[in-house]
Amino acid sequence: MDEKGFCIGQLTKMKRVFSKTAYERGLLKGAGTDGSQTWVTILASISMAGVVLPPTIIFEAQSGYLQDTWLQDFNPAKQRCMFACSLTGWTNNEIGFCWLSEVFEKQSKGTARNG
């Protein structure tokens, strides 16, 4: 299983005041954000038997609820996927446990050695 986060939003350059030592150590390199970004995380996995498990997409949601507009292009008849949300857009214990029981166990049980 691998987890990859994506920042969706606008990145901008910003002016900063910093010491020469901090710059030389590489502590201040990179882009700044204007505050209008959100995080989406993808959990992807392939079992040892080569079975591709449905991905899990985790949205950042302060309300704790998925919004219909996030899923408007999803067709459950043609695509397999699990959706979740968290305050940060990253995995937490609840989402991890749900992924283990609802995705991993159900999808890999048929190819396990003892079924």
Q: What pTM was estimated for this model as a whole? A: 0.66
Residue 89's pLDDT is 85
Backbone angles phi, psi at 39, to 5 degrees: -110, 140
Whole-number pLDDT of residue 8: 75
Q: What is the DSSP letter of 98?
A: H
Positions of the chain with pLDDT lower than 50, given as ranges? 31
User: Terminus-to-terminus CA distance in the chain, angstroms?
Assistant: 21
Map out the domains of the chain as residue ranges: 2-113
Task: Choose among 77, 55, 100, 36: nearest CA to 92.
Answer: 100
Kindly provide the b/e burial profile for residues 60-83, where b requires at least 16 CB atoms within 10 angstroms of the residue's own CB.
Answer: bbeeeeeeeeeeeeeeeeeeeebe
Tokens of 97: 């446990």
